[in-house]
Amino acid sequence: MIFVNFKTYQKGSGDSALILVKECQKVEKERGIEIIPVVQTVDLRLLKDFNVFVQHVDDIDFGPNTGEVLPQAVIEAGARGTLLNHSENKIPIEVIGSTIQKIRNLKSDFKVLACCESLDEAQEISQFRPDFLAYEAPELIGSQTSISQAKPEVISEFTKVIKEIPVLVGAGIREREDVRKALELGAKGVLVSSDLVLADDFRDQLIDLVKAFKK
């Protein structure tokens, strides 16, 4: 599977986000590989008919929480899951746990992809049973060096230690070989962003990544 984080790029916002989400859906149907856009909360109403995650929710309930993201609201708006603890929006371990528990109490099939920067952090988070764990080395995010090239031994250790939760990898994933190497090391998929969202030809770049899943 491929998670595509649109962040707040102009190409991943509003009507432009809708264009990219439709391309993700087309490629998914053509190639048989699950592709999940991770979008801004404000775009959910525009994207409610698609399988999308939001980039974050907060550990809150209905009430006076100005500026925070209410889990019930994104579920009602049509999101199928959320990213948590991305390196650009870190939250304490205990908040990750309480947020996941809140989500489970609201809707059992709403998925959580929790990000981590180390194996120690992954093991702490895994006790809360997110649906996916994504290992991203923060120094490689948005760089020209992929995590598959720079830290293959860490990916291998992750996939050996974390057995019960699917492991994804991200940071610097740019081309088919990066994805192929991650899969070879035991990852179930990748989390990608700038190199795909900002590509001159989003569809061609996405198809190139998808080809790594084919033998």
Domain-wise residue ranges, the chain: 2-213
Give SS3 for 158: helix
Q: Is 56 tagged catalytic?
A: no
| pTM, entire model | 0.92
The pLDDT value given to residue 182: 86
Q: Is 117 tagged catalytic?
A: no
pLDDT digits 0-9 by tens, 69-122: 999 999 999 999 999 999 899 999 999 999 999 999 997 799 999 999 888 999
Candidate list 28, 56, 121, 136, residue with the active-site label: 136
Alpha carbon distance 179, 20 (integer Å): 20
In CATH terms, the fold of domain 2-213 is TIM Barrel (3.20.20)
The pLDDT value given to residue 143: 56
pLDDT digits 0-9 by tens, 121-143: 999 999 999 999 998 877 666 55
DSSP 95-155: HHHHHHHHHHHH-TT-EEEEEESSHHHHHHHHTT--SEEEEE-GGGTTSSS-HHHH-HHHH
Candidate list 86, 139, 164, 175, residue with the active-site label: 86
Counting every residue, how long is the chain? Answer: 215
Is it the case that residue 215 has pLDDT exceeding 70? no
Q: How many C-beta atoms lie closer than 10 Å to residue 75's C-beta?
A: 20
